[in-house]
Structure 1
Amino acid sequence: MTRPQGITVIRVPLDDNDDAAFWYSILDDDVDGTPLYYRPFLERKAARCVAAVTAVARAAPGGVVVHCGIGRDRTGLVSLLLLALAGVGAEAIIADYTVSEERLRRYFEADDDPVAARLALRGTTIAEALNELLGDVDVEACLLAAGLRPGDLTALRERLLTD
């Protein structure tokens, strides 16, 4: 497919498929593809999250699109991080994430979101899982400790918070 002139694609692989032990632990715990994998991912792969956030901070002027295969799991995590770094509150971040649930029902060809159903079996919801994560994890401190440069954090906030 030909891209229109002026569009630059920067691929930032978030997943580390060579880390089989991590992925088997996520699969064995049945949290892959749910917000419950965000915390262990941040604990083990924070540098990859820094790479994604840094790519947005350093992108050329103009719009930036973040996307993955479906647009909710890795995109959801990166969006959550970007919004948290911009100072957006948990309630608005959760509302942003749940838009995907509504839109993906057509993709799953079901009335119910399978992620929500899996979380229900664990006694939680998407909103509760995200709220717990956002209440427990200081995103800024986590990413700065993993190598996010203060100048990139400033550039990211300027990009996200200015007209």
Structure 2
Amino acid sequence: MRRLPPRWFIRTAWAVHRALYRFGGARFSLNQPKAQTYGHFRLTTIGRRSGEPRSVILGYFEDGDNLVTLAMNGWGAPEPAWWLNLQAHPDAEVELSDGPRPVHGRAAVGDERDRLWDRWRQIDESLDEHAARRPTPTAVVVLERRTA
């Protein structure tokens, strides 16, 4: 099994990515996916307890008009806070490199989940190994475009 970086390293990388966004905007931190790589977007959800906006930068690929990401929390055991927030308040906003988009989030299930998971496998050959580290299945999250 491939070795993951230590948790402190993963958290530091997230902090650096957020800082790049804060100081350089979308130009330096957000990008479109390519054929064999994922892109990055900034997702803003509403906190399930606080009711305040919460933002995170995530990897994604496009599936038609939908955006697809994984609720993986750096392959750690707990569900990521953004995913818990999105389940409580499914309407959110994504900032892409070409501008904002209102979205509605949901988990992919059944054949759709299998198809989207297979697409992630094409991008990340270690996907199954890393996912096996988590005690629960990793949600494949679909963000559907909605009207503002």
Length-normalised TM-score, structure 1: 0.29
Which of 1 and 2 has greater Rg? Answer: 1
- Structure with greater proportional strand content: 2
Length-normalised TM-score, structure 2: 0.31
Structure of greater relative contact order (alpha carbons < 8 Å, 6+ residues apart): 1
